[in-house]
Structure 1
Amino acid sequence: MENIEISRVILNDIADLQKIGKDTFFETFSESNSEENMANYLSEGFSEEKLIDELNKEGSEFYFAKIDGKVIGYLKLNTGLSQTELQDNAALEIERIYVLNAYHGKMIGQVLYEKALQRAEFLQAPYIWLGVWEENPKAIRFYEKNGFLVFDKHIFKLGDDEQTDIMMKKMLPIENV
């Protein structure tokens, strides 16, 4: 396995965050969505202003995965009121783990997930939760393999398309609490 560096994203990294965000979202979802919905989401969801707001928001953290200085994936975590849906003030949400397709199967997602676990342990979170698109079996298997269980569903809107996200969570060892 190549040497994977995990680093916290700062405001100076905004161009790299915007690029990896757009690239990985497009690779992951473009085949399953209309060109118009995809273009609008990439433009709005990864605008510089939106990413700066998210980076500055208390309780939101981004981390890059890099190999030889190249950003190949990223992680977004939320706590408290920054969670996309408040499940529990003390819980940790994994909002995004995305890795460029060229690096799938190289344990990059697992390394990013382990960073989320470290943050959850540090924060003494009782559990980690996330939403994953029901049409993304690869991601669902990844989370199941890591001990996540389905607990609910919610609607995610991509343009004019309403999609269902499966909500999953993993209880953490009691010594974390």
Structure 2
Amino acid sequence: MAAIIINKASVEDLETIKEIGIQTFSETFAESNSEEAMKTYLEQSFNSEKLRSELNNPDSHFYLAWEEDVPVGYLKLNSGLAQTELQNNATLEIERIYVKKSHHGQKVGQLLYDQALETAKNLQKKYLWLGVWEKNPRAIRFYEKNGFEVFGNHTFRLGDDEQTDLMMKKNLDE
């Protein structure tokens, strides 16, 4: 495996983020959800207009993981009003750490997480937080290994299906 490089993404990376977002979300969740619900979610979450708006939002931070010239994952962070919940100035949300299935177990997620941690420290945040599907034990273990603890839950809607996400946070002052 070639070295993985993490680069800050910009609006010029829109198509790359769109493709990797659709691929990784599908690889992870298609098996557990209806085709119709997946199609609707992907169209709503990864359409070019929405992604362009997010990439242009100064409170959202995107990073791409590259293996040579191939994108293998990405990270989306939100601060301030871009956060999906909490919207506390002391917090930074990890909205997405997405890694292609072909690169699971190769530390790409850890490198993206390390970038999130560095960004949080640079922005002088006190907490990192995220929501993770309760039926995604691999991701839950990853976050627990990195010092996150469950502090609540919220509903994530995929089509007509209401799913439960565990809310997890990590205190950065410890």
TM over 0.5: yes
Distance in 1 between residues matched to 2:27 and 2:135, nearest whole Å: 14
Distance in 2 between residues matched to 1:54 and 1:87, nearest whole Å: 16
TM-score (norm 1): 0.96
Q: 1:139 corresponds to which residue? A: 139
Distance in 2 between residues matched to 1:56 and 1:33, nearest whole Å: 31
Paired AA for residue 56 in structure 1: N
1:123 and 2:157 matched: no
- Residues 47-105 of structure 1 show CA distances to partners (whole Å, capped at 9, x for unaligned) of 00010011111210110000011100000000011100025222110000010000000
Alignment of 1:73-92 (within 5 A): 73-92=73-92
What is the RMSD of the two structures over their aligned residues, measured on CA atoms? 1.0
Q: 2:17 corresponds to which residue? A: 17
Distance in 1 between residues matched to 2:121 and 2:61, nearest whole Å: 15
Equivalent position SS for 1:40: helix
1:7 and 2:7 matched: yes
Paired AA for residue 124 in structure 1: Q
Q: Is the 8 A contact 2:79 2:87 kept in 1?
A: no
Q: Is the 8 A contact 2:81 2:87 kept in 1?
A: no
The 1:117/1:91 distance shift into structure 2, 3 A limit, reads same
Distance in 2 between residues matched to 1:151 and 1:87, nearest whole Å: 16
Distance in 1 between residues matched to 2:156 and 2:58, nearest whole Å: 23
User: Identical aligned pairs, as a percentage?
Assistant: 58
1:43 Cα offset (Å): 1.2
1:106 Cα offset (Å): 0.2
Count, aligned residues = 174
Equivalent position SS for 2:37: helix
- Higher mean C-alpha deviation, range 113-122 or range 50-59: 50-59
TM-score (norm 2): 0.97
Q: Is the 8 A contact 2:11 2:55 kept in 1?
A: yes
- Higher mean C-alpha deviation, range 27-36 or range 4-13: 4-13
Equivalent position SS for 2:29: helix
Q: Which runs of 5+ in 1 are unaligned?
A: none
Q: Which runs of 5+ in 2 are unaligned?
A: none
